Structure 1
Amino acid sequence: MLYVRYLQIFRKLVSVYDQVVHPQKRQVIRAILDGVMGRVLELKNEMVEKEFSEYHYMDDVLHDLKLTPTDLEIPIPRYFVSECSKQIQEHKRILADILKMVEVNESPEPLITKVMRQEEAIKIIQVGERARQGRLRAKLNEASRNMNRMYRIKDPGTVGIELAAVCIQKVWRGYIQRKKAKIARDEEMIFLGMVMHPKYQVPRPAEITVQATEASTRIKQEEYEEDYQKSIVTVTDQLREVDGPDMIKTMKDQLRQWIIACRVATGSFPDYPDEEDGGSTLILAEKHPLQLKEEIAAKEEEESNKQKGNEQKKEKKGNDKDEEEEAGLKMLPSAFLSDLEMGNKTFVDFWKTRNESKNFSQRHDVELIKEEKRRVIEEEIRIQVDEQMRQELAEWKLAVDKQKGGKTKGKAKKKKGSKGGKKKKKEKDLTAERTLESLCHELVEQGLLKKPKNVKLQDFLGDYSYLGTTLRQNDIEPMPSLSDVRQILALYAVLPLGSQVVHEKAPLIKAILLAGPGGVGKKMLVHAICQETGANLFDLSPLNIAGKYPGKSGLAMMLHMVFKVARLLQPSVILIEDAEKMFYKKVPRDEKELDPKRLKKDLPKSLKLIKGDDRVLIVGTTKDPQSADIKSLCKMYSKIILIPRPDYGSRYILWNQLIKKQGGEVTKNLDVGSLAKISDGYTPGHMVQVIKSVVTMRRILQQTNRPLNAAEFVVPLAKIDPVFQEEEEALKTWYAKTPLGKQRIEAATGKEDEEAPVKGKKKKKK
């Protein structure tokens, strides 16, 4: 229920962020939007850990809240692509230029001239000539038959004319009556609400107006944001020039008074607080010198006592753990609730009661910029003043107290600490002298950096699973629908890659494995992730890297280049097609020359280098996971998503939408329901293949006289082998051996064992 509520807030905030043009308000909304996105991901992670399943069925929650399945769709904010930083935009422009350059330079394959014997050439010419003569002869015969028919016609007389008139009347009256019946039937269906009125099938004037308004709003957003950034620079320079000298003088006077007061109170000059402790911020808090000295001394004692306190807390938690578990389900601590509270506080303090009647155009507020930037400038000036005052205090000590070495000792300590901290070896940069452009050019030429196809996540069509909760209540594990797969990838891949804040704080997912039969749309989903987030696509598939960068040094160089460019051009997606080949139990003879297990050891090592700051995701696809070592595969991919063949509802939507996309018209003559029924076991890829073979350009032109019907699709569909039940069961069995599958089976079997003796208690807990 909480997850659905957060999704509703998320959807509303996305639309609000798209419509607001005030740049400072958009910053507040953006912070809250990132927080809500992260909270949704945290709740999803908790549901997976509690239910031991990647898929959750919420049809009962939707029924209670009176919502529709579309309310559960994960919205993808537009700013993932539109509001990239200038550096990322520059990198993308360079990469686009390189891709175009490589496409132009690729020369077409030379035509291979085949040596032909004289007899074969003569035979081809004879066949063509005989066909031409046959067509000419057929035309002459048809013309002669028409001439003979004209000579045979005699005067029909009055009786023949009447019979002809009656025949024409019958045909005409039948045609008119059928037309009236069709109109009446359509009107009835529209009245009952079973068919949409034709006037609503085309864009209405209101919809066109809304689209134009949205376009103008986006232009205003860009214009106002540009003015806001210019104003920030202007105001900052102005504050630094006008108020800067006064700030420096005031700070120095306060600090000198404090130093003198310490000298009077203690009899000696105090030690200036280090930058790590806060520097002059501790002094400017208007505290008494003795009190400040005691606080600095007490800090060291607190740090030493922290460890003891933590150990005691752990012991207490261990003793009270059983009582807390009995109290009920406890939510894990969130990394985003503090951000949401801060955003809400900012809204309440600044914007809730603010009078915006004079700012009709929603331009930025200069006074807010001044308040914000004054704090930044004060912090900059404070650091400069601290350095000057440390030198001044050292001079006072030398002149008055003749104390030497106090400052140098502190420096020596710091140096020792810094030396001790640099024990970890940094990763060696094998391409330190090369530019990013040259690295991109080489990767594009080698086929390791590719341009993603222009597909969206919504193009992965599929219907919602309406009976998931009902089946689970009857101890039947339902197969996930394609709609569930689309939502999971939006959560695990699109949202973290699109937002840096979300990626840093949300549960880190480095690698995802998409498992399913061929044709279900695994590669399409990878390209959709790249398009929705503006990510770059790197291809490290075993077949793609075969023969490239040979040897251990070449392999190390290839991985270093790919991961270095992926981090610099983030967000990035690294595709590994046929991921099972990297972890083969036994390499087939045909593939031994390709060395598919080449990345087995080195790629997991490179995967460990990906941190929370790096928006880099590895996505593997496999249709035969049984042939791989399951332990190595599961160790590499933290998330394994099983994509099934489509159910009846998804097949109905697929046939309908794909035929329309190809240019066909879905009329009453085309029984889509029957097509969806007989295509059980076929994947979306099979359906696309069949539709392309049937709905050709010539067939599209013939639709007015001969509409499409279901029988035309049956023959080409029958020539393709479907996904048989055995293959699907094999995938289910394999998934049950994965860590999450094992946990779910253990939870289910444990529940069944305890049902008899503790039946009443179980029900209460549930």
Structure 2
Amino acid sequence: MSSKMYNQMWHQTQEALNSLLDKESQKLIEPQRNPVFIFQTLATFYIKYVQIFRNLENVYDQIVHPQKRILIRKILDGVMGRILELKNEMVELELSEFQYFDDILQDLKLAPQQLDIPIPKYFLKEKLDIIKGRERILSQILADTELGLSDKVWRSFHQCKKTERQREEEMIFLGMNPPHMFNEVSAAITQAEKVTCLRNEVQIKHEEDYREALVTIKDDLKLTEGPDIKENLQDQIRHWFIECRNLTGTFPDYPDVKDGGSAIIFSKKTPQQVIDDTMANQKEEEKNEKKKKEKKAKKETRKKERKGKNKEEDEGWKMSSSVFLHTMEEGNNVYKDIWKNKDESGNFPQDYDREMIKEEKRKELESEIRVQVDELMRQELKNLKLAVNREKELPAKMRKKKGGKNKEKGKKGKKEKKGKDKDLTADRSIESLYKELVEEGLLIQSLKVNLSDYIGEYSYLGTSLRQVAIEPMPSLLDVRQLIALYGILPLGSAAVHEKAPLVRSLLLAGPSGVGKKMLVHAICTETGANLFNLSAANIAGKYPGKSGLQMMLHVVLKVARQLQPSVVWIGDTEKTFYRKVPSAERKMEPKRLKQQLPKILKLLKPNDRILIVGTTHRPFDAELRSFCRVYQKIILVPRPDYASRYVLWKQIIQRSGGVITNALNVSCLAKVTDGFTQGHIVEVVKGVLTDRRIRQQTQKPLVALEFVAALSSMNPVYQEEEESFKNWYAKTPMGKKRNLALTEGNAEKERDKGGKKGKKEKKKK
């Protein structure tokens, strides 16, 4: 696709965003009472923002114009943040982490796949060199710390590899194995990959040229226009001095540096307007300040009393104000003013716009020169006051004394703060701390797993079941959606993490083999995050004692902050919150982190892209209160349903080299494996599809019986175990709220039915 095509896509997406922002501004004003209508409104906005997000992510990845990319990135971050805000509102409204949009998708004529949250490619692309460098360092440290590898071991390993290679070459020669080029990808795919690589190279080159132009153009403006700007500013400020003196009889007070200097006075105003404002302010401020305050206080008390009485009667639900709407509107306005009708017929290579850079740099240059001019004009104003008005100033000594006292107080306060947040490793570098954590096994290498590898299918009956007051089990793709929203998007974008609803901790609870650990590794892979393993079994015997534990957590948090984004994983986290520690695990001290985890969460700020993720297959063994205090979001990961099992069997067989023919009944496999997890299915496929069996497929196609036989030795997740997870979740804060809402809703329906029956009986009489 050409740059012209992506520009058209961007213009269409901006038009869709513009209309959506207009609708949102209307809905913010209108109060509503019907919860079904409220959810449909929120869900419609959510779905439309997801479509805009998908298009903007694609456009940002492909457009090569550097100035357009800056604007698109700003809007893209705003759209991501708004999606997270809407998701948070829907969770609070429905009191459930999972929402279903079957009916709305049908009305909008969209497929469920279009609800997939894409992972922006810039999460990894813009820091690829840093991630690769970090991986090299990590692998080097791991290689250096590995012990017990003798020369004999290496020779045997090398010989085994050589023998395997020779055997493979022999099989190809005999015609028993296909040649290496047999499964080569098509020419169209290779060409598309080449175009993508070239486009990435052009993006990098254009951004480098743009950064160089920012410096050179500013330097040129400083030489050519700098003296004129300085002279104009001085004349403007002098004119203000004289006019204020003529009108008020005194020279004005010069604004402080903290307030912005002369920029505040002349922002969007002419010198005459500034003079008029100062005159009006001096006269009115003294007379009307007290009266206004008294009137405002009286009005506010009256309003509060009225609101307190009529709040339930007058007010309905209103959409809460958004932090990201202003960002999107700002970006949308810039698009309208600059890019919407801009003629770019002469800019075929899509290089930077020189005139736009000049406008930006003129403003920067003016603000820099203004600081210098302010210093000169302050001194000039002092001289004028002394010469004309003969005003006495405070002695310099008095000022120093006053300033000295304040400074001393400030220093004391700083010392006290430093004492509280003492750096235990101030004399050590981040590199040495990083190496120590790797050697201790607390910082581990994450597996290269993408979120798209977590295979599953959508739940198509979620809305229908909820309408009948039945709470459906979430599907695997519903879980994948939450991981993208709560984990990947905030960790990947600093702008989104700072302003979006803050999620500090996640808990993934579900039976063994449903992919909880895989999701943790997927978060790290998609965001390039460091992975810290603070599982009870992993920290056993390391950093002993209270001081050792304090040091360990200090080092982990320090490295996690410096090299963010970071994920702190606590596997088998129920052990940290055991009700009763088993006698076999007492030496391990599994509850070491129990008291420390709430403190760590309090230390995490919006600008700290650190996520604590716990995984558990036995949450019922833990103390529920302390468990739920630590984990802000609890996600129940279920065993796969029929639709997910069908997709799993199909894709895993194909990925492992199997060929699906009419002889293989995948639907039968999906029905037979009810209760078996993704882990079971992967294990069975790997066991059946050996190299020899893959080669035999042409003469002997795969059949379902081969896989069923391998399943016979495995234990599935029975319905009772799934029910125990449901019952446990019902005791969590979100589960309790959801159950209470369902019981209240059912009671209201019964009242309505009873009322209707009563009316009918009266009519009969």
Q: Normalising by structure 1, what TM-score? A: 0.82
Q: Name the counterpart of 1:62.
A: 105
**Alpha carbons of structure 1 residues 313 and 16: separation in structure 2 relative to 1, 3 Å:** farther
Q: Name the counterpart of 1:51.
A: 94
Q: Is 1:515 matched up with 2:509?
A: yes
Q: Is 1:458 matched up with 2:452?
A: yes
1:312 Cα deviation after fit = 6.3
Q: Name the counterpart of 2:342.
A: 354
Q: Name the counterpart of 2:312.
A: 322
Q: Name the counterpart of 2:40.
A: none
In 2, are the aligned partners of 1:394 and 1:407 still within 8 Å (CA)?
no
Q: Name the counterpart of 1:381.
A: 369
Provide the C-alpha distance between the structure 1 equivalents of 2:375 and 2:285, rounded to a whole number of angstroms. 23
Equivalent position amino acid for 1:274 in 2: D
Provide the C-alpha distance between the structure 2 equivalents of 1:703 and 1:296, rounded to a whole number of angstroms. 93
Number of equivalences: 668
Equivalent position amino acid for 1:104 in 2: A
Provide the C-alpha distance between the structure 1 equivalents of 2:372 and 2:294, rounded to a whole number of angstroms. 34
Provide the C-alpha distance between the structure 2 equivalents of 1:705 and 1:410, rounded to a whole number of angstroms. 97
1:533 Cα deviation after fit = 1.1
Q: Name the counterpart of 1:467.
A: 461
**Alpha carbons of structure 1 residues 605 and 476: separation in structure 2 relative to 1, 3 Å:** same
**Alpha carbons of structure 1 residues 433 and 473: separation in structure 2 relative to 1, 3 Å:** same
Aligned partner of residue 11 in structure 1, secondary structure: helix
**Alpha carbons of structure 1 residues 310 and 684: separation in structure 2 relative to 1, 3 Å:** farther
Q: Name the counterpart of 2:145.
A: 106
**Alpha carbons of structure 1 residues 110 and 23: separation in structure 2 relative to 1, 3 Å:** closer
1:631 Cα deviation after fit = 0.8
Deviations along 1:694-718, one digit per CA (max 9) or x if unpaired, are 2122222222322222212223211
Deviations along 1:570-595, one digit per CA (max 9) or x if unpaired, are 11111111111111111111111111
Gap regions ≥5 residues in structure 2: 1-43, 153-182, 757-765
Provide the C-alpha distance between the structure 2 equivalents of 1:376 and 1:434, rounded to a whole number of angstroms. 39
1:98 Cα deviation after fit = 2.3
In 1, are the aligned partners of 2:569 and 2:613 still within 8 Å (CA)?
yes
Q: Name the counterpart of 1:142.
A: none
1:208 Cα deviation after fit = 4.8
Q: Is 1:240 matched up with 2:222?
A: yes
Moved more, 623-632 or 370-379: 370-379
Deviations along 1:150-196, one digit per CA (max 9) or x if unpaired, are xxxxxxxxxxxxxxxxxxxxxxxxxxxxxxxxxxxxxxxxxxxxxxx
Q: Name the counterpart of 1:479.
A: 473
In 2, are the aligned partners of 1:463 and 1:649 still within 8 Å (CA)?
yes
**Alpha carbons of structure 1 residues 534 and 305: separation in structure 2 relative to 1, 3 Å:** farther
Provide the C-alpha distance between the structure 1 equivalents of 2:521 and 2:119, rounded to a whole number of angstroms. 15
Provide the C-alpha distance between the structure 2 equivalents of 1:408 and 1:352, rounded to a whole number of angstroms. 60
Deviations along 1:69-89, one digit per CA (max 9) or x if unpaired, are 1111111110111123xxx95
Q: Name the counterpart of 2:435.
A: 441
Deviations along 1:190-228, one digit per CA (max 9) or x if unpaired, are xxxxxxxxxxx9966655544433332222111111111
Q: Is 1:530 matched up with 2:516?
A: no
Provide the C-alpha distance between the structure 1 equivalents of 2:76 and 2:312, rounded to a whole number of angstroms. 37
**Alpha carbons of structure 1 residues 639 and 296: separation in structure 2 relative to 1, 3 Å:** farther
Alignment partner of 1:429 out of 423, 432, 439: 423
**Alpha carbons of structure 1 residues 393 and 22: separation in structure 2 relative to 1, 3 Å:** same
Moved more, 444-453 or 292-301: 292-301
1:248 Cα deviation after fit = 2.1
1:266 Cα deviation after fit = 3.1
Q: Name the counterpart of 1:96.
A: 135
Q: How does 1:547-566 map to 2 (within 5 A)?
A: 547-566=541-560
Q: Is 1:27 matched up with 2:70?
A: yes
Moved more, 256-265 or 533-542: 256-265
Provide the C-alpha distance between the structure 2 equivalents of 1:524 and 1:250, rounded to a whole number of angstroms. 64
1:315 Cα deviation after fit = 5.0
1:483 Cα deviation after fit = 0.6
Provide the C-alpha distance between the structure 2 equivalents of 1:360 and 1:760, rounded to a whole number of angstroms. 72
Highest CA radius of gyration, 1 or 2? 1
Alignment partner of 1:291 out of 273, 277, 290: 277
Q: Name the counterpart of 2:26.
A: none
Deviations along 1:222-254, one digit per CA (max 9) or x if unpaired, are 111111111111112222333223222222222
1:381 Cα deviation after fit = 2.0
Moved more, 606-615 or 665-674: 665-674
**Alpha carbons of structure 1 residues 683 and 410: separation in structure 2 relative to 1, 3 Å:** farther
In 1, are the aligned partners of 2:476 and 2:637 still within 8 Å (CA)?
yes
Q: How does 1:145-164 map to 2 (within 5 A)?
A: none
Q: Name the counterpart of 2:355.
A: 367
- CA RMSD of superposed structures (Å): 2.8
Q: How does 1:174-185 map to 2 (within 5 A)?
A: none
Equivalent position amino acid for 1:8 in 2: Q
Q: Name the counterpart of 2:122.
A: 79
1:265 Cα deviation after fit = 3.1
In 1, are the aligned partners of 2:469 and 2:742 still within 8 Å (CA)?
no
Q: Name the counterpart of 2:644.
A: 650
Provide the C-alpha distance between the structure 1 equivalents of 2:302 and 2:404, rounded to a whole number of angstroms. 34
Moved more, 700-709 or 584-593: 700-709
Alignment partner of 2:712 out of 715, 718, 733: 718
Q: Name the counterpart of 1:133.
A: none
1:324 Cα deviation after fit = 4.5
Alignment partner of 2:378 out of 387, 390, 393: 390
Deviations along 1:263-301, one digit per CA (max 9) or x if unpaired, are 333333322112333320233332354632654797895
Q: Name the counterpart of 2:252.
A: 270
In 1, are the aligned partners of 2:507 and 2:615 still within 8 Å (CA)?
yes
Q: Normalising by structure 2, what TM-score? A: 0.82
**Alpha carbons of structure 1 residues 537 and 107: separation in structure 2 relative to 1, 3 Å:** closer
Aligned partner of residue 682 in structure 1, secondary structure: coil
Provide the C-alpha distance between the structure 1 equivalents of 2:563 and 2:247, rounded to a whole number of angstroms. 58
**Alpha carbons of structure 1 residues 707 and 505: separation in structure 2 relative to 1, 3 Å:** same
Q: Is 1:224 matched up with 2:216?
A: no
In 1, are the aligned partners of 2:142 and 2:438 still within 8 Å (CA)?
no
Q: Name the counterpart of 2:233.
A: 251
1:96 Cα deviation after fit = 2.4
**Alpha carbons of structure 1 residues 315 and 359: separation in structure 2 relative to 1, 3 Å:** farther
Identity %: 54
Gap regions ≥5 residues in structure 1: 114-200
Q: Is 1:573 matched up with 2:555?
A: no
